Chain A
Amino acid sequence: MVSTSSSDPLRPSDHIDAPDPDRTPGAGGRGGVNQPRLGFVGWLRFVWRQLTSMRTALLLLLLLAIAAVPGSLVPQRSSDPNGVTQYFQENPDLAPVLDSFQMFDVYSSAWFSAVYLLLFISLIGCIIPRTKHHFEALRARPPRTPARLSRLASYTERDLPAGADAATAEAALVDAASRLKRAGYRVERYELHGEASVSAERGYLRETGNLVFHTALLGVLVTVGIGGGFGFAGQRVIVEGQSFVNTLAAFDSFNPGRFFDDAELTPYRLSLNELDAVYETRNADAIGQPTDFTAHVTVEGEGNEPTDGIVKVNEPLRVFGTDVYLLGNGYAPTVTVRNAAGDVVFTDSVPFLPEDANLTSIGVIKVTDGLDEQLGMIGFLYPTQGVLDTGAYTSTYPDLVFPVLTLNVYEGDLGIDDGTPTSVYTLDPTDMEQLTGGDTGVDSLELMPGETAELPGGRGTVTFEDASPGGDAAAAGDFSTSVKRFASFDVHHDPTQGWVLVFAILILAGLMTSLFVPRRRIWVKAVTRPDGRMVLEYAGLARGEDPNLDEAVRAFADAQSTDVPAPSGRADESSKSAT
């Protein structure tokens, strides 16, 4: 198409602005018929050139897009582990097959990694030589003025006034050079075949932006890949009035990065004083929809004064190098179990997991000692109890208006004595005898805050403790604080996420620069026509996408020609009109 010069960006051989390999033999990647046999090094060079070509990059990009799709169709272990478990239950035949293709770990799978690693190797192979070349181009002179400017697509000319001589032309060129310089062009004077000219080039920033964009992409990948290994993420449920210390043992679950050392944990204490949950009460279309969750906490570091803080959704608390997020909440009814003699054998606030929008919650109470046999209870908490047509209970509002706790009691071996780890949220009743609820013929225990019920067979009593400050919610007619709430906190530490943000901003900045800064050349030449007229020739050449080039060349010629006819003495005015 057009000749390229050393100040052009270095591009893969199949880039649209690179020299055409078909026309410049020897420069391209396409092997001709007469190509000599490739040696081992030759093959390596061939493979490398293929890998760093535009076509390969394009293919890998499209492959990457396709490879990312399955991860949105099948639940992923990283983002939805329960979904994976459920998928295995629902598709017992298909799931293991999918699993063997790493379909549940798509984004860390061998095939997904292969695609993006190849893409980034291709990228590195492209940007390193390009960066080197660009540094050289930044110091190079603008290219020589072509012999015939009128051949270029963006071309215009303006007559110099009759009687103009070489001095007028020279003054016009000096003026053009200074105007171009002011407009950010790199300017060079050339004199060819007795024709004086100005050669100017601008928009080196375009290639700089391109390189910054691609390098920053690499930066994000490396920071995420390596930097992520230095952090940790832990989960912990805390009931109102309780606290936890930021140590490994205190977390309910803990995922350290590859390079994370447990000793790096700062042992601060986080106490949950109160969890405020606000639900919509006025808008008839949204009754019971949550509008605010606020966890009021106290943080106390070693040797520091305790400080109060709040954690909200969208407002994490950043303390001692960790970020504390409020990711969930619910009710933790306080239950006390006494044996037949009236001795307390169990008392605790047990977090119940919310099952629906109105916070019907399920929890498990395990009484391991103090009774003849171990006792397990599956409890349902209805913050505002309602009765369905079938007679089943349900919750009609997520806040505590008429809280009811029902308990199905099981007796037998809880299966925890042999040391097998079991979830505190589930009860396996297979080896146990059901005492209340279900098919037993005995009604489930049904309690409101402050009430006590007898366990069947004189085994003892169960009390649903009233957590209200007054201690008697029923008498006060206000149950709003009668059941404690819990907050589910995520504690994160990621020392590199600031760097990811920096690279992300560079990506955006580099992208905008590389797409919007026009790379263009402008030449101005003073030419004497055969009839003795003197004209100034203006020509522009786009280096890459540049929709406004014609306009720019014409505008430049117009701006200059309004001043040029005057003798050199009016240079002052011309600079004024240019600003």
Chain B
Amino acid sequence: MTFTLDEISILCVYSAMAVYAIAFIAYAIDLARRGAAAAKAADASADAAPVADAARVGVGAAAGARAAAGAAGASAMSDATDGGAGRRGRWQRATELGATVEYGRSPALRVAVAMTVVAWLLHLAGAILRGIAAERVPWANMYEFALTGTLLVTTVYLVVIVTSKQDLRFLGTFISGLVLVLLGVATVNFYVSVVPLPPALQSAWLIIHVFVASAAVGVFALGFALSVVQLMQARREAIVASAESVKRSFLATLPSSNALENLAYRLNIVGFILWTFTLIAGAVWAEKAWGRYWGWDTKEVWTFIIWVVYAGYIHARATRGWRGSRSAWLAIIGFSTVLFNFTVVNLFFKGLHAYSGL
């Protein structure tokens, strides 16, 4: 029996989903181990000396304060001056970023990352084969948006863990989970067989506009994950600072909320720039295809709303009293509008962007 290219593509996607599932489990095991490590460290310090514990609490409290960036920077600096460049590895230790418990990379985490790479390769193969089968870019209907969009989410994650100075592998649980769920919905609910492009989509802007939009979603997804962890971390830091209890949570092995916020911000501004480009490219295309560059079509409205929410996020971060958890909430609202735009607006709202293929 022979398979068509599209059938092989689907097989690749199913395989990718299976491997993503394995990666997700491994990431989850790693989180559990982090929790255990944090509890162990807390117990050890409690046994050893209450004073040390107090010092630890003090560090946690300082990390929560506004001065944390300076403190973290200073500790990194003293490291460097003490031991020279040699000790400063490619990977900044999490403790330098405000984590209270030292935690390396567990075997589970190594397996998880390896599985993510394998899943990504299968996913990539699935998308490329779909493109070859359709004789065009694989992002012209809802199924293909989801296929390529999730591929870009994983791609951004992998690029970030390779290039970032901080170890962000702990985000893998969220990323593999999100990609798995979206791929599941895409293959079950959005799948359409390969059909030719309608005249309205026959444009070079399909390649540019939609791809950049998907890439922006990939970056926003990671920023969103960081903002969520930031909020959890800020809550934990507040509890530690009030010295009510030492939370034995995996969060103790992660960077401080302040470091997480800076990371989230850097990703979100990249996403914001990509989104700005998406908006402008979309307007240029709309002028060619529909005869006007802006017409408050439902999809245009939501693209605008997303842009404004993230603009608000960037402003909030520069506004006294809004940096920290408040701006993190805006980033979370921003990504929720992105998901809303991708799902509800595509499927249920009437408009000119009727390309879901469903």
Contacts and interface: CB of A to CB of B under 8 A. Distances in A.
A579 B320 CA distance: 41
B81 to A, nearest CB: 6
A236 to B, nearest CB: 13
A313 B293 contact: no
B195 A289 contact: yes
Given A280-B196, A550-B77, A554-B80, A83 B350 contact: yes
A508 B312 contact: no
A44 interface: no
A314 B289 contact: yes
A58 B292 contact: no
Interface in A116-159: 153-157
A283 interface: yes
B174 interface: no
A158 to B, nearest CB: 10
Contacts of A106: 296
Given A80-B350, A286-B196, A545-B265, A233 B305 contact: no
B199 interface: yes
B70 A58 contact: no
A291 B199 contact: yes
A558 to B, nearest CB: 8
Nearest to A66: B305
Nearest to B312: A61
Interface in B195-217: 195-200, 202-203
The winner among A80, A156, A505 for most chain B CB atoms within 10 A is A80
Contacts of B296: 71, 76, 78-79, 106-107
Given A314-B200, A511-B273, A156 B315 contact: no
B193 A285 contact: yes
The A contact surface, by secondary structure, is: mixed
A292 interface: yes
Contact of A290 (B198, B287, B345): B198
Contacts of A505: 280
B323 interface: yes
Contacts of A558: 85
Interface in A75-127: 75-76, 78-80, 83, 106-107
Given A16-B318, A65-B308, A286-B196, A508 B276 contact: yes
Contacts of A71: 296, 301
Nearest to A316: B288
Contacts, number: 157
Contact of B77 (A107, A156, A511): A156
Interface stretch (A192-200, A331-339, A394-402, A496-504): A496-504
Interface string A498-533: 001100110110011001000000000000000000
A501 B279 CA distance: 12
A357 to B, nearest CB: 11
Interface string A308-321: 00001111100000
B290 A325 contact: yes
A237 B76 CA distance: 71
Contacts of A17: 318
A550 B269 contact: no
11 contacts: A18-B320, A58-B316, A64-B308, A65-B308, A72-B349, A153-B70, A154-B73, A291-B198, A293-B199, A313-B200, A508-B276
Q: Lowest 9 A-B CB distances belong to which pairs? A: A286-B195, A325-B291, A313-B199, A54-B319, A61-B312, A65-B308, A285-B193, A72-B301, A72-B298
Interface of A: 14-18, 20, 54-55, 57-58, 61-62, 64-65, 68-69, 71-72, 75-76, 78-80, 83, 106-107, 153-157, 224, 233, 280, 283, 285-286, 289-293, 312-316, 323, 325, 327, 490, 492, 497, 500-501, 504-505, 507-508, 511-512, 515, 545, 547, 550, 554, 558
Given A15-B319, A72-B349, 11 more contacts: A54-B320, A55-B322, A58-B315, A72-B301, A153-B70, A280-B196, A292-B199, A325-B291, A504-B280, A507-B276, A550-B73
